[in-house]
Structure 1
């Protein structure tokens, strides 16, 4: 089942996809005030949603405006694709003349940082180019949405804690990122700007994705294919990531964890940059296409 948050007739509602061009209003049919209510409702809420999908009236897809599927309770982003690092380091070597190598710790344990959960937008909304940056980039990622909380979760138990998966565009101000991370801390303003995190358009429920996730991924800009890959290439899968993150730390329903950029899933790896007005389209198998335009200040 594919779930989303949309605005219809002036009101925000939770919906389920009914085919490719229609939605079902789960707020009216089941009383879910938002996506968190559905997530916190557990298995019984999903049963009710599936029942509504069979009987509730349809809403045309073109009658709604998408929003982020949820406001994450917490937003973490990992660095799980070796190909992305190898490609990015090779490009950095060309630019600086310095050699970069993947540290041993990356292979031993998941690496992640905490993102700005307040700067999340959804499919179709404009990304606002931060005024301090001259080099903007997109990043194609798969994100897991936590459905059941816990602490010290084992890798074997971890898949049962995943509610579903969504597309994550982790926008990056590359010039700010490069400058600040030389200080051995960050990222900060390379990532933290309004509209810098994009989720959607749907959450695909975990029952439709065998673990570990092996979903095709691709990114296009202005209709031109840039790159992509498959989530099976994650060095640390989501079970390992959830187990590591939850060590002596409680995970909560509604937290979102990004995979990190799939190999060739960003412009940095390809020697390409975003430009004012570019339309980004990030597609992941089973979830759909997350499309947004990036615009400079003043537009």
Structure 2
């Protein structure tokens, strides 16, 4: 099933799409409530009830929102090709750092900064080097802790397209400080266009256990990158197992695959030796498509003129006795 949340006539609704992907059948409660309850069977039952009832609006008549409010978003760095290109662009490295191969690293990003599939995304304050990142997000359906990869698959409710927008120039000083990403990442992510339940894409799983889903990105209508989810260096099951070591995942948590090969401008910059194509500007339109999951397309909007940047006071006082 494909579940969506949309805005129509100023009100927010959740729905399941019909088989043709044209009509929305409203659910009897919000998708956020259904997903975070941690009962995938109840979600499916709600979808079946909705499909048995009258159809709601056509997809073309509504504004799609992020499918649900995620409690948390962990974003992995799962593609070797992406690390190779970005490392050269941002750090001047000609190789993938050896530490990357040791475990599927991730960071926590902002679950309250989500945009819908076709929303405009403003440039963040102080940013001059805006970039996109083409990813797939896996959605947790049941709580789990200390899971093995074999156990983790049963905890995946479904998948969605995930654009992890990046302010590369804001990232640079954050990397130098060594505390991880903050303002370079927390301003926007696109989730959507809908939540696709795991069974819908299971037929794309290859012999090694990876989902072989074609991924592509276009800028202003021209294709600039493509890859497959099967080129990730870890399966989602392996990444979830690592995330749950000594920690919980809860229903509605999203785990990003990491950016696929050629899935970000920074990769092009590293491989080309120059910022070609240039950083995103207001008016640019970024379109991400993942086989079986759908398409999100966002236009870049102007952002704030000024950036609040409080500088530290240098404290030279002796400590109190």
Same-fold status (TM-score > 0.5): yes
Alpha-carbon deviations, 1:202-241, whole Å to 9, x = none?
Answer: 1110011225322111011111111021000110111011
Which residues of 2 match residues 32-43 of structure 1 at below 5 A?
A: 32-38=29-35, 40=37, 41-43=39-41
Match of 1:249 in 2: 247
Note if 1:25 corresponds to 2:26: yes
Give the distance between the partners of 1:250 and 1:38, measured in 2 at CA: 16
Give the distance between the partners of 1:121 and 1:166, measured in 2 at CA: 13
Deviation at 1:7, TM superposition (A): 1.1
Bigger radius of gyration, 1 or 2? 2
Alpha-carbon deviations, 1:183-220, whole Å to 9, x = none?
Answer: 22211111122xx1110111110011225322111011
Which residues of 2 match residues 153-192 of structure 1 at below 5 A?
A: 153-192=147-186
Match of 2:224 in 1: 226
Match of 2:13 in 1: 13
Structure 2: gaps (5+ residues) = 270-276, 306-321
Deviation at 1:92, TM superposition (A): 4.2
User: Cα distance 1:287–1:253, how it changes in 2: closer, same or farther (>3 A)?
Assistant: same
Deviation at 1:180, TM superposition (A): 1.8
* Alpha-carbon contact 1:38-1:46 (below 8 Å) kept: no
* Alpha-carbon contact 2:123-2:304 (below 8 Å) kept: no
User: Cα distance 1:37–1:20, how it changes in 2: closer, same or farther (>3 A)?
Assistant: closer
Aligned with residue 200 of structure 1, among 184, 192, 207: 192
After superposition, the CA RMSD in angstroms is 1.8
Aligned with residue 88 of structure 1, among 86, 89, 92: 86
Note if 1:288 corresponds to 2:294: yes
Aligned with residue 114 of structure 1, among 108, 114, 124: 108
* Alpha-carbon contact 1:36-1:254 (below 8 Å) kept: no
* Alpha-carbon contact 1:32-1:38 (below 8 Å) kept: no
Aligned with residue 48 of structure 1, among 43, 46, 49: 46
Give the distance between the partners of 1:203 and 1:36, measured in 2 at CA: 14
Deviation at 1:100, TM superposition (A): 4.7
Give the distance between the partners of 1:25 and 1:144, measured in 2 at CA: 24
Structure 1: gaps (5+ residues) = none
Instruction: Give the secondary-structure state (helix, strand or coil) at the position aligned to 1:118.
Output: coil
User: Cα distance 1:230–1:76, how it changes in 2: closer, same or farther (>3 A)?
Assistant: same
60-69 or 84-93: bigger deviation? 84-93
Give the distance between the partners of 1:143 and 1:60, measured in 2 at CA: 26
Give the ranges of 4+ consecutive aligned residues of structure 1 lying more than 3 Å apart after TM superposition.
90-93
* Alpha-carbon contact 2:88-2:95 (below 8 Å) kept: no
